[in-house]
Chains A and B, each alone.
Chain A
């Protein structure tokens, strides 16, 4: 990640650069606030460590200028200064600094404060934006109802169950579960690139049309890959990419778009595959009625080692009551919604 150091003192600038580069950051140094502000305006820096007292624009003024900008993403600012005392800390934070560190810095504290900054940046509006994007993509395909809401619940349940499994305990922690919940709604985002004539076709797709439909996995995967490359600090984007790209792969190698096999399919893709199919089976479509849970379960069991990873099938079996509960909850919400609409129409 890129970081902007704003410091007119050569020694401090060198020491900060030395430490930050060792932490893995790419460092640019500006010698005063004016130069720094030009860098910030380029949009290439979202982490800034700035001195307070500098010739020209001070660090305090720089904070105020950054906060008064109406465009661009959030810029996380750490004020690093020789000014001590509560009054100065209040002035610094009031000007818009996120953190206030006094010189001399310790490398350990600096690294910790920067990690906090990275976390904040990573979380910025992300949850709402992701789900809004997913809903927007889904809105073209009106028959799927509350598919995204159910899908993320199923993914969360499966990931939670796998987190108790010795094979997955080191991989699937609380953050992994949260990221599955966050990113799984993006699995079909590539459908925005599929023509209406195919996506909304009421009947069965021809083999040629199906080939085009299959491209949605690649489209989604590539789109999210390009976003992930621009934000390498956001690990959830890599998970979103993996899910979009691989949720139609099968462990027997018969899936698409690549035909990956077994564990070469990312775990998140294998989880999303089962969640997606379960929801498709238990939901009504133009071409079929909703299957009940018992039939869906039977189909999923029959696909163990073929379509689905056996560990994930086991997780599904262990938590089938939770799957059923989610399925029923969203069905009753749909019924309630329809009833309310009828009452309003008749009023």
Chain B
């Protein structure tokens, strides 16, 4: 199993591409303060989940990788972080393949980790939305 690195290059995204704020607010029934609390909580959880996911990738535990990626995909979609949900979905799909393909999983994880970083960089600007 290859080790996850951060060599993949992606084009920088704008904040609007990282987070679909109107969609998030619809789900929060327009409650800005509640939306902000959810984002903060999501960020806190995300950091720990990503570390656990990388450890599982490195350990070759594809079952655990799929489980964590699925969890992140669901919560990312719920807070309307759609690119993050899509990259987590790619990790989950790679981990669930019947014939395991290490390279594909590692690449998907690298893309995902990059997206996580973008999300972490961009989202603090939403902390003032409430």
Binding site for B on A (CB under 8 A): 8-12, 14-15, 18-19, 22, 51, 53, 81-82, 103-107
Q: Cβ of B74 and Cβ of A82 under 8 Å apart?
A: yes
- A51 and B41 in contact (CB under 8 A), knowing A18-B34, A107-B29? no
Q: Cβ of B45 and Cβ of A19 under 8 Å apart?
A: no
Residues of A within 8 A of B38 (CB): 11, 14-15
Stretch at the interface among B1-9, B75-83, B98-106: B75-83
Q: Cβ of A107 and Cβ of B26 under 8 Å apart?
A: yes
Q: Cβ of B75 and Cβ of A12 under 8 Å apart?
A: yes
Residues of B within 8 A of A51 (CB): 74
CB B18 to nearest CB in A, in angstroms, measures 15
Closest 5 CB pairs of A and B: A104-B77, A82-B74, A11-B75, A12-B78, A9-B75
CB B28 to nearest CB in A, in angstroms, measures 7
- A103 and B78 in contact (CB under 8 A), knowing A53-B67, A82-B73? yes
Contacts beyond the supplied A8-B71, A82-B70, A105-B27: 15 A-B pairs with Cβ under 8 Å: A10-B41, A11-B41, A11-B42, A11-B78, A14-B38, A18-B28, A19-B27, A19-B28, A19-B29, A53-B74, A81-B74, A103-B74, A103-B77, A104-B80, A104-B85
Cα(A10)–Cα(B43), bound, Å: 12
25 example contacts (A-B, Cβ-Cβ < 8 A) are as follows A9-B71, A9-B74, A9-B75, A10-B75, A11-B38, A11-B42, A11-B45, A11-B79, A12-B74, A18-B29, A18-B31, A18-B34, A19-B28, A22-B29, A51-B74, A53-B71, A81-B74, A82-B70, A82-B73, A103-B77, A103-B78, A104-B23, A104-B77, A106-B26, A106-B27
Cα(A12)–Cα(B89), bound, Å: 17
CB B47 to nearest CB in A, in angstroms, measures 14
Cα(A18)–Cα(B28), bound, Å: 7
Choose among A10, A15, A53, A82 the residue that contacts B27 (Cβ–Cβ < 8 A). Answer: A15
Q: Cβ of A15 and Cβ of B45 under 8 Å apart?
A: no
- Who on chain A is nearest to B73 by CB? A82
Interface size bucket, B side?
Answer: 20 to 34
- A53 and B77 in contact (CB under 8 A), knowing A11-B38, A18-B28? no
- Who on chain A is nearest to B74 by CB? A82
Residues of A within 8 A of B74 (CB): 9, 12, 51, 53, 81-82, 103
Of A11, A15, A22, A103, chain B has the most CB atoms within 10 Å of the CB of A11
CB A56 to nearest CB in B, in angstroms, measures 13
Residues of A within 8 A of B85 (CB): 104
- Who on chain B is nearest to A16 by CB? B78
Of B27, B73, B77, B79, chain A has the most CB atoms within 10 Å of the CB of B27
Q: Flag B43-83 by CB within 8 Å of A: 1 or 0 each.
A: 00100000000000000000000010011011101111000
Cα(A104)–Cα(B74), bound, Å: 7
Cα(A51)–Cα(B78), bound, Å: 13
CB A150 to nearest CB in B, in angstroms, measures 50
CB A339 to nearest CB in B, in angstroms, measures 66
Residues of A within 8 A of B80 (CB): 104
CB B41 to nearest CB in A, in angstroms, measures 6
CB B53 to nearest CB in A, in angstroms, measures 15
- Who on chain B is nearest to A82 by CB? B74
- Who on chain B is nearest to A54 by CB? B71
Cα(A106)–Cα(B89), bound, Å: 20
Residues of A within 8 A of B26 (CB): 106-107
Residues of B within 8 A of A105 (CB): 27, 78
Q: Cβ of B79 and Cβ of A53 under 8 Å apart?
A: no
- Who on chain B is nearest to A21 by CB? B29
Choose among B28, B70, B71, B89 the residue that contacts A15 (Cβ–Cβ < 8 A). Answer: B28
CB B49 to nearest CB in A, in angstroms, measures 10
Cα(A325)–Cα(B75), bound, Å: 63
CB A120 to nearest CB in B, in angstroms, measures 25
Residues of A within 8 A of B89 (CB): 82
Cα(A81)–Cα(B77), bound, Å: 11
Cα(A33)–Cα(B29), bound, Å: 28
CB B106 to nearest CB in A, in angstroms, measures 22
Cα(A107)–Cα(B26), bound, Å: 7
Residues of B within 8 A of A82 (CB): 70, 73-74, 77, 89
Q: Cβ of A9 and Cβ of B29 under 8 Å apart?
A: no
Residues of A within 8 A of B67 (CB): 53
